[in-house]
Amino acid sequence: MQEQLTPPRFEKPEHEYFRVMTASPEVAIADPAVNTEAILAHYQDAREQEAALLVLPELCVTGYSTADLFFNRHVLNRTNQALTQLAEATLDGPAMVVGAPTIQDGLLYNSAVMLAQGGIAGVVPKSYLPNYNEFYEKRWFTSGRTVQGATIRIGEQDVPFGTDLLFDINGTKVGVEVCEDGFAPIPPSAHHALAGADVIVNLSASNELVGKDSFRRRLITGHAANFICAYVYTSAGRGESNADVVYGGHQMVAELGKMLAEVQPFADETTAVDIDTSYIEHDRLVNKTFADQAQEARAMRSYRTVPLKVPATQDGTLMRTVNNEAFRPQNQAELDRRCETLFNLMAYPLAQRLADSKAQGIVLGLSGGLDSTLALLTAEYARQIMLQPASFIHTITMPGAASSERTQSNATKLAEALGTTHHVMPIGELAEDAMTMIGHDTTTEDITYENTQARMRTLLLMNYANMVQGIVEGTGDMSEIAQGWCTFNADHMSMFNPNASVPKTLVRDLVNWFARNRCTPQVAEILSDIIDTPVSPELTGTGDLSQETESLIGPYKLHDFFLTEEIRRGSTPQKIGFLASLAFGEEFTVQEIQEWLDAYHGRFTANQWKRETVPNGPKIGTVSLSPRGDWRMAPNTSPTWYK
């Protein structure tokens, strides 16, 4: 069961979440009456959880192992009675989908039956019947893959029957397939998704084998990614025959390629989770390949949609995990793999640019801070790829009045430890001369005072690069670029910037990974102190690190969270605040989150003009702000668009 989180004040967005519950009840083989009671017990749990839909396994009304008793009229009659009883239970509660044998025009089908609003909403027959190895379903059932536009009579009801059904539950479209359907090369769920299904449910009776649970995870998360949907899978478990095979009751809910919730085989549990349908809608709107195929599919095949209304979730909680580290995997092994991948994604393009431009060296400003350190480590990786000596890297430290002894010392020690061609070029007099020439008093620490220092540093870097026939490597990260926290035509500019798509919250991890895996103990010790140094532009003050960036523009952990939700997911400001209040509620008050969210939006909108002219840099993740790639935005976008 997912932890229920209650937001301090931000309200849960309406119509953006669809709560599903999965269960695998213990069955009594060929006894629908007993199974009905077990199903109703889980249905009561779903009602208490305020789920919109309860998903149960394949043939759970009779048991998958009913075998030749599927032909027995008594069992079939009791099945219809059970379906009617189960349907009546849904009058004022969630919808539920159960597996049962059904007869239509003298043929027996392995079906999924959608129950809602006190009745049977529709029946979807299984398309692909496994008849190999341990499976021999064709002994009993007929494939329903060609059944469209039909009806079936169950009890006193004539209801829609076929593989062309979608169920619109409170605005969320649900498509249904049964077990083997999901394992087919082109599963019915592919057609359902292209027809508009946001959520696919799979009622299964998949037996357990060594490694099969891992295969199912890859399959289900793959479907959720490929079809840009949520995929809900529930398999048969206890009570099924174990004469020759074993059933474990595996349950999974995946969304857009990621596992939201899972009940491991043999765990004998249930799970409830909120699917984010707005994420699904956003990704489909962005992906024009999906749109093209959807148009083609809809021109060739029509669907019937059954509208259903069930009680909406009222408790205001969110049943899903909200990660407060948007770009950072929680698992250390996965984080290490990601860091290694990211270094490759940064270093190889840098090496390629150096080779293409026939550059004789890499030139970068080394401040002793995290971003320039990461740029240096990337340069070190690139020069190793190119089989160049350490002197191929030219590091320049350019202290000003506000530069701290700690950062300058770390910069020099790191350069010496790596063997770079290192220079120290103080910018104090150069900056003062530039300010004096334009009539500045050189003591007022205003924006001109700050920007002049930044531009003098870039002037030195560019001129030095010309002299040694090198290229200037940029150091600014994506979080700074998003906020415009850079000086135009100063640290904003370079000849290539490998850091351009790196979020600030991942920079420390990258430096730490390099320290643990790619360098000597001496270098690792220096990197450790750099990691512990507060983030500061060091443009005002007297070198005591009093100008801390996060106290000026806000915590980067919040900004990176906002950035992911807005750019990657297309979330509304209200929703971003709601999710942030869950993720950071113990660290920041609602008022603080709202203030920093407003500040983020203000700076992000106002600084698009800077992003219009950023230098080249590789896209390394799903969020990128390159004006030539992922992010197109008018520089004069209304400053109140997010209000």
Q: Classify residue 106 by its DSSP letter.
A: T
Are 141 and 249 within one domain? yes
Query: Does 179 participate in catalysis according to the annotation?
Result: yes
| Residue 10 counted as domain residue | no
Which pLDDT value is given to residue 538?
57
The dihedrals phi and psi of 18, each to the nearest 5 degrees, come to -130, 110
Are 364 and 462 within one domain? yes
Q: How confident is the model at residue 536 (pLDDT cuts 50, 70, 90)?
A: low
> Out of 12, 126, 504, 557, which one is annotated catalytic?
126
pLDDT single digits (tens) 114-153: 999 999 999 999 999 999 999 999 999 999 999 999 999 9
What Rg, from alpha-carbon coordinates, does the chain have? 30
Q: Which residue has the tokens 């009570």?
A: 239
Are 279 and 376 within one domain? no
Q: Between the CA of residue 77 and those of 16, 103, 217, 429, what are the distances in Å?
A: 40, 10, 36, 95
Which CATH number goes with the domain that contains 393?
Answer: 3.40.50.620
Which pLDDT value is given to residue 1?
45
Residue 342, CA atoms < 13 Å, CB-side half-sphere: 27
Which CATH number goes with the domain that contains 93?
Answer: 3.60.110.10
Q: Are strands 362-365 and 393-397 parallel, antiparallel or unpaired?
A: parallel
How many Å apart are CA 364 and CA 347, to the nearest integer? 14
Q: Are strands 230-235 and 251-255 parallel, antiparallel or unpaired?
A: antiparallel
SS3 content of the chain, % helix, strand, coil (to 5): 40, 20, 40
| Residue 97 counted as domain residue | yes
| Residue 340 counted as domain residue | yes
Are 233 and 352 within one domain? no
* Residue where one domain finishes, among candidates 308, 323, 347: 308
Q: Name the domain count of the chain.
A: 2
Which pLDDT value is given to residue 549?
75
Q: How confident is the model at residue 403 (pLDDT cuts 50, 70, 90)?
A: confident
- 3 state SS of 172: strand
Are 162 and 221 within one domain? yes
pLDDT single digits (tens) 482-494: 999 999 999 999 9
Residue 495 token pair:
């000849």
| Residue 94 counted as domain residue | yes
Which pLDDT value is given to residue 633?
96
| Residue 9 counted as domain residue | no
Q: Residue 432: how many CB atoms within 10 A of its CB?
A: 17
| Residue span of the structural domain in which 169 resides | 17-308
Query: Does 550 participate in catalysis according to the annotation?
Result: no
Nearest to 266 by CA among 288, 251, 285, 253: 251
Q: What is the mean pLDDT of the chain?
A: 95
> Out of 12, 16, 50, 58, which one is annotated catalytic?
58
* Residue where one domain finishes, among candidates 273, 308, 343: 308
pLDDT single digits (tens) 147-181: 999 999 998 889 999 999 999 999 999 999 999 99
- pLDDT reading at 543 higher than 70: no
Which pLDDT value is given to residue 11?
85
Are 288 and 377 within one domain? no
> Out of 12, 50, 60, 179, which one is annotated catalytic?
179
Query: Does 380 participate in catalysis according to the annotation?
Result: no
Which pLDDT value is given to residue 404?
80
- Within 89-205, where are the H helices? 188-194
* Residue where one domain finishes, among candidates 308, 324, 350: 308
Are 338 and 473 within one domain? yes
Which pLDDT value is given to residue 96?
99
Which pLDDT value is given to residue 537?
61
Are 223 and 356 within one domain? no
| Residue 199 counted as domain residue | yes
How many Å apart are CA 511 and CA 481, to the nearest integer? 20
Are 384 and 440 within one domain? yes
Are 336 and 302 within one domain? no
| Residue 238 counted as domain residue | yes
| Residue 234 counted as domain residue | yes
Are 39 and 167 within one domain? yes
- 3 state SS of 168: strand
Are 507 and 380 within one domain? yes
